[in-house]
Chains A and B, each alone.
Chain A
Amino acid sequence: MRPRVHLGSTGLLFLLCLLLLLAQGLVQPNFLTYAQVINLLKIAAVLGILTIGQTLVVLSGQEGVDLSIGAVATFGAVLVYNFSQGKNESFPIALGLALMAGLSLGSLNGVLVAYSRLPPLVATLGVGTLVQGLIVWLGGRERGAIPPILVDLVSTPWILGLPGILFLWILLALSVTWLLRRTYYGKALYALGSNRRAAYLSGIRPERYLIWTYALSGFFSALGGAILLGHVQVMHLTLGQAYTLPTVVAVVAGGTLLTGGVGSYWGSMAGALLITLLQSVLLTLRIEEFGRQIAFGVILLGLLAVYGREKGLRQ
């Protein structure tokens, strides 16, 4: 059975992105250059990669949401920064370490959500605080540097002026979609999200899949953090913090239901593009930080009002 087509079905959303881009071109005639579009895509790719984990977690249902993404991303970046010491040769080991750390912190989220009755939001917010503590402890002590390979990945054009990060994003998107549509894990995740009890009764062990889902979220957050480091090119202790809310907005905007079980990563990609474009519009309109925060809050509320309303008590 095909899922119901929502207002924000992915095609429509991509169309909306195109319209926003054109609108911006009209406001600022010299805006619509090839280089500028690629630049926007680059920014969207960073957000998009950080959104992979959030998509999986939201799909798992029962108000699943991962608020530790920003902190875990920063932690991954700190590990890469400190352990690679700016050398390409030691980058693979440093990245491996960061990914392992992401997996373990994600599993911690998963264990908390699966075995305690805490709402995921509270559990992941708690883990986020813990990780922030780790960041301050570890990141404040040692000096490091950014390996050039990371900077190259984001900024050096490969083919047709497109940098490697865009290819990486598409590769990851294809893998995630394969994971969701073609593997047992994916089927189980959708089943859990649509009806946890039914899934349990058909032999899916919720705890196992929840832990894996949050672990994967931690994994992709750490990966995204490393890439973010290459994009920003400056290390600071709140590097990823500002990305937590946009990942939630991207997922919701992409048509994935917060109740779980319905949605796709393509939608989240469109959501990430939409947010990046909105941000760029707000920037060109010279709206300051406070205005962007307000705009985000209002947009998220609006999106929730469209998709996320709960059933009334009257039925």
Chain B
Amino acid sequence: MSLMAKVRLPYYTPVLLLTGLLLVLSEALVPGFLEPVNLSRFLFSALPMIFLAAGQTLVILGGGIDLSLGSLLTLTSVTMVVLFEKVDPVIATLGGVAAGAVGGAINGLSVAYLRLQPLVATFATSFLFGGVSLWLLPQPRGTVPQEVRGLADPLWFPLIPLLLLFGGWVLLRHTPRITLLYAAGGQARSAYASGVQVTKVRFGSYVGAGLLAALGAFFLLLETGTGDPLVGQPMLLGSITAVVLGGTRLSGGVGGIEGTIFGALLLVLFRNLVFFLGVPSDLQVLAEGIVVLLALAASGYALRREA
């Protein structure tokens, strides 16, 4: 008992346990799931959602929400695909990342500086980004150069971005910049009164989200190998669900990217499981809808209890 009292469990303990449980369950139902090959493939397929949800976490921590992140992922991936045909792969990738930053900056300008309501403003920009994506790439096409796709060949490849994201966040979490983000999201008015430049911090959170969405787009391209002008939009709700599952509060100021990583893993694991269990494809959407709704409702209910 005395030991328990000393060890303070991290906020993401529940989602960590759930993820572990689902991993074991997957191995039990689909023998061989935990073998390195399969595990690597699973982690690889989860990378886009993890990075998109990590971006969403930044925005939500800062007290906002970004409904355009799915479209922004599309826009960045389409930009990369179009550039792959014309320029050096490195420059093309950087071009996509730059598109992510620009998109994030448009969101940040609208929400932080123009003070438009985040929900509706990013809803509006989602159509802006979606439209530009369709303009750049009207139909699914394009290929990712072989030397780029080759990056993902080693089995340990998915671990690198994962560890970088996790480690980077754990290291950065207590730096002044991120502390200010928590302050701005928790109590914007008090933060402002204590001299936090809330507007700047919020703007930064949207730009950061755009950058992370671009990284997600890159990993998605590595996996699919082709461009699709509608690829990201269906991932939006998943990104919010992953944040919520990971223990970050939708009202801002509490949570973090570590939890989101496990939240996203949990979501993708669940999808895989539904697929492996042979649930008919027309029921899979429904099954996921129910789980997403339950997760959202449970987190909302928990918030209410706390308040």
**Chain A positions near chain B (C-beta within 8 angstroms):** 63, 65, 112, 115-119, 121-123, 125-127, 129-134, 136-137, 140-141, 245, 248, 252, 258, 289-298, 300-301, 304-305, 308-314
Are A117 and B251 interface neighbours, CB within 8 A?
Answer: yes
Q: Which of B123, B135, B188 contacts A291 (CB 8 A)?
A: B135
Are B117 and A258 interface neighbours, CB within 8 A?
Answer: yes
Residues of B within 8 Å of A127, CB to CB, are 293
Residues of A within 8 Å of B285, CB to CB, are 129, 132-133, 136-137
Q: Which of A115, A116, A119, A310 contacts B116 (CB 8 A)?
A: A310
A136 to chain B, nearest CB (A): 5
Are B117 and A63 interface neighbours, CB within 8 A?
Answer: yes
For window 122-162 of B, CB contacts with A under 8 Å fall at: 123-128, 130-135, 138
Residues of B within 8 Å of A313, CB to CB, are 188-189, 192, 198-199
**Is B6 part of the contact surface with A, judged by Cβ < 8 Å?**
no
B208 to chain A, nearest CB (A): 21
Interface size class of B (residues with CB under 8 A): 35 or more
Residues of A within 8 Å of B307, CB to CB, are 117
Number of contacts between A and B (CB, 8 Å)?
160
A209 to chain B, nearest CB (A): 18
Are A290 and B135 interface neighbours, CB within 8 A?
Answer: yes
Interface segment, one of B15-23, B86-94, B163-171, B295-303:
B295-303
Besides the contacts A112-B296, A118-B299, A304-B110, what 19 more A-B pairs have beta carbons closer than 8 Å? A63-B117, A115-B301, A116-B304, A117-B303, A118-B250, A118-B296, A122-B296, A123-B296, A130-B293, A132-B289, A133-B283, A137-B285, A245-B123, A293-B134, A294-B135, A297-B124, A297-B125, A300-B123, A305-B116
Residue of A nearest to B249 (CB): A117
A68 to chain B, nearest CB (A): 11
Are B250 and A300 interface neighbours, CB within 8 A?
Answer: no
**Given the interface contacts A133-B285, A297-B126, A297-B131, does A116 sit within 8 Å of B300 by beta carbon?**
yes
Are A298 and B251 interface neighbours, CB within 8 A?
Answer: no
A236 to chain B, nearest CB (A): 15
Are A258 and B120 interface neighbours, CB within 8 A?
Answer: yes
Are A297 and B198 interface neighbours, CB within 8 A?
Answer: no
Are A125 and B237 interface neighbours, CB within 8 A?
Answer: yes
Residues of A within 8 Å of B134, CB to CB, are 289-290, 293
Are B127 and A126 interface neighbours, CB within 8 A?
Answer: no
Residues of B within 8 Å of A309, CB to CB, are 114-116
Are A126 and B123 interface neighbours, CB within 8 A?
Answer: no
CA distance A24 to B290 in the complex (A): 47
Are B119 and A140 interface neighbours, CB within 8 A?
Answer: no
Are A126 and B292 interface neighbours, CB within 8 A?
Answer: yes
Q: Which of A129, A131, A300, A312 contacts B288 (CB 8 A)?
A: A129
**Is B121 part of the contact surface with A, judged by Cβ < 8 Å?**
yes
CA distance A289 to B131 in the complex (A): 8
CA distance A233 to B22 in the complex (A): 45
Residues of A within 8 Å of B127, CB to CB, are 245, 293-294, 296-297, 300
CA distance A129 to B123 in the complex (A): 16
Residue of A nearest to B111 (CB): A310
Are A133 and B125 interface neighbours, CB within 8 A?
Answer: no
Q: Which of A118, A252, A310 contacts B115 (CB 8 A)?
A: A310
CA distance A123 to B286 in the complex (A): 16
CA distance A63 to B120 in the complex (A): 9
**Is B287 part of the contact surface with A, judged by Cβ < 8 Å?**
yes
B186 to chain A, nearest CB (A): 14
Residue of B nearest to A111 (CB): B297
CA distance A252 to B289 in the complex (A): 29
Residues of B within 8 Å of A63, CB to CB, are 117, 119
Residues of A within 8 Å of B35, CB to CB, are none
Residues of A within 8 Å of B251, CB to CB, are 117
**Is B58 part of the contact surface with A, judged by Cβ < 8 Å?**
no
Are A65 and B286 interface neighbours, CB within 8 A?
Answer: no
CA distance A292 to B67 in the complex (A): 19
Residue of A nearest to B133 (CB): A290
Are B115 and A117 interface neighbours, CB within 8 A?
Answer: no
CA distance A305 to B287 in the complex (A): 39
Residues of B within 8 Å of A311, CB to CB, are 115
Are A140 and B282 interface neighbours, CB within 8 A?
Answer: yes
CA distance A136 to B131 in the complex (A): 26
Residues of B within 8 Å of A292, CB to CB, are 131
Are B124 and A301 interface neighbours, CB within 8 A?
Answer: yes
CA distance A125 to B188 in the complex (A): 26
- Residue contacts A-B, CB under 8 angstroms, 27 given: A65-B120, A115-B300, A115-B304, A117-B250, A118-B296, A121-B65, A122-B296, A125-B67, A126-B296, A130-B290, A130-B293, A131-B289, A133-B283, A136-B282, A137-B286, A258-B120, A294-B131, A294-B132, A295-B131, A300-B123, A300-B124, A300-B127, A301-B128, A304-B110, A304-B121, A305-B116, A313-B198
Are B119 and A308 interface neighbours, CB within 8 A?
Answer: no
Q: Which of B120, B287, B300 contacts A248 (CB 8 A)?
A: B120
**Is B222 part of the contact surface with A, judged by Cβ < 8 Å?**
no
CA distance A127 to B293 in the complex (A): 7
**Given the interface contacts A290-B135, A297-B131, A300-B120, does A116 sit within 8 Å of B125 by beta carbon?**
no
